Amino acid sequence: MQELEIKRGHVKNIEGEKLKELMIKYFTEVSKDGDKLVANYKAMKPICVWLKGKNVICVEIVTDKDAKPSDAMDTIRAKNGFLEEATGFTSGERAKRLKKMAKEGSL
């Protein structure tokens, strides 16, 4: 499970049903499991997403190791697009923030 920081002021873009709508945009079908939103998409079986407060989004992904390479590439593109829109940070910015958190020992 990853906890990803949400850009300041960006949470308004994913509050309420907006997060589910964003997941549908990238992963087509989304169901609800308590507070978590769940979707299966190509090489992700499943991806679970939920908000933790107003500045953190939690993402849990189970990867299908037998997925075709083309499905794996499509999955990576969809996941990165979704996370960029959900957090407000690009994949490079998210990686830098995760490295910084790991270095500070807050992970």
Domains of the chain: 2-104 (3.30.310.190)
Count of residues for the chain?
A: 107
Among 86, 74, 93, 63, CA closest to 12: 86
Separation between Cα atoms, residue 44 and residue 63, nearest integer Å: 5
Query: What is the SS3 assignment for 64?
Result: coil
Separation between Cα atoms, residue 64 and residue 54, nearest integer Å: 31
Separation between Cα atoms, residue 104 and residue 107, nearest integer Å: 8
What is the reported pLDDT for 107? 56
Whether the pLDDT of residue 105 is over 80: the answer is: no
What is the reported pLDDT for 102? 84
Whether the pLDDT of residue 77 is over 70: the answer is: yes
Separation between Cα atoms, residue 96 and residue 75, nearest integer Å: 22
pLDDT in tens, 6-63: 999 999 999 989 999 999 999 999 999 999 999 999 999 999 999 998 899 999 999 9
What is the reported pLDDT for 97? 87
pLDDT in tens, 83-96: 999 999 999 999 99
CA 47 to chain centre: 8
What is the reported pLDDT for 30? 97
